[in-house]
Copies of this chain bind each other. A is one copy, B any other.
Amino acid sequence: MKKKNNRITINDVARKAGVSSAAAGRALGNYGYVSEEIKEKIMRAAADLGYVANQVARAMITGKSQTIGVVGADISNPFFAEALRGISDVARRHEFGVLITSSDEEVPREQDAVRILLEKQVDGLIVSPADINNCRHLQQAISQGIPVALLDRQLSTLAADAVLIDNVHASREATRYLLSCGHHRIAIITELSSDYDARLALEPEHFSRIDATRLNSSGSRLLGYLLAHHEMGIPVERALIRRTGKYCAQRAYEETLSVLDEVRPGAIFAVDNVMTQGAYRAVREREIAIPDGLSFFAFDELDWLTLTTPRISTVAQPIYKMGVHVAELLFRRISQPDLPVSWQTWQVEMKLRESVAKAGEVAAKQDI
């Protein structure tokens, strides 16, 4: 019978093996010198007693918890879940634990999450910041010596590694493709919760005054959309820009119904997986044929985009790989804190499928 807790400690093992606790520590923790003979005795004693190492005590003294923290928008979002899988695979390889939290894209929740993770003494953080104009808490983590790696968002003001895609470019390419198919009235369904992003929706004609480094993903994607129009000399109708204000399929559904009913665009561009789900549902509800009655372009690859009829064109990000690499950047920095900051920009892939038709061809079909 032990004092309070019946848990077996290193002292119990040492006593049973007839050695000092230091020797037991060395054998069990695999550090320092221990003779094979004694080590074996200790290991046997540990196995007999059912000893389980106490990482908390180890963390206390080494100052390393062998744990990283992840702050994502929403774990149940397939995008994040896939990235998390990559992160956790790498963490397992390094024998690190992964503590997860959700911010739901809200800055106060993100701050809370970061604080709790820091109190738990994580050795590093992977964050998809809710608002890149609002991240003193991340700065603080870094100045406390806890490295931060950013997923899917970049922060020029922060000494943090990042893994991302070029959102402006990706969105511009997709929009150019739609425009070049003859669709001059493309509705864009996007989130734009941050104030700075929202400005772009409110004054699209002033996009040149916007500081692209202050835009979140949805802002960047809207900028790409605007740039593509500008470059091709096609004016943008304000009513085509639909802002949900939050990451919510239901809101995307509502905005899409409204844009279909009020503006009746020739194409819809849904700029992330959540928007895609809501927007596509709305199109189905209105029983508009794709691509003959409406072209549809998505963002992010989802399992089901090739299971619909027709299959849906999209901009695919290598999400799992991005998760793997952001974790690798973080572990690299944990072991080498003084490396220069590294931003990895990954290529997206345009998956051109049958959900987009040339505007002319629809007319041709109808003529027959």
Contacts and interface: CB of A to CB of B under 8 A. Distances in A.
Nearest to A5: B63
A75 interface: yes
Interface stretch (A111-119, A222-230, A262-270): A111-119
A78 B75 contact: no
Interface string A72-84: 0011111001101
Contacts of A99: 67, 97-99
Given A55-B121, A78-B81, A81-B78, A116 B97 contact: yes
A101 interface: yes
Given A5-B63, A277-B303, A307-B281, A53 B119 contact: yes
| Total identical chains | 2
Contacts of A60: 56-57, 60
A156 interface: no
Contacts of A4: 63
A284 interface: yes
A77 B280 CA distance: 22
A15 interface: no
Interface in A278-324: 280-281, 284, 302-304, 306-309, 320
Contacts of A95: 116
Contacts of A117: 97
B54 A6 contact: no
A74 B85 contact: yes
Given A55-B121, A281-B306, A304-B303, A102 B116 contact: no
A128 B98 CA distance: 18
A61 to B, nearest CB: 10
Contacts of A85: 74-76, 102
Contacts of A118: 52
Contacts of A76: 78, 81-82, 84-85, 320
Interface string A106-148: 0000000001111111000000000000000000100011000
Closest 4 CB pairs of A and B: A304-B304, A76-B85, A81-B81, A55-B119
Interface of A: 4-7, 50, 52-57, 59-60, 63, 65, 67, 74-78, 81-82, 84-85, 88-89, 92, 95, 97-102, 115-121, 140, 144-145, 249, 277, 280-281, 284, 302-304, 306-309, 320
Given A56-B65, A75-B84, A303-B304, 18 more contacts: A4-B63, A7-B144, A54-B119, A55-B120, A74-B85, A76-B81, A76-B85, A78-B78, A78-B81, A81-B81, A84-B100, A85-B102, A97-B99, A98-B99, A98-B101, A99-B99, A281-B307, A304-B304
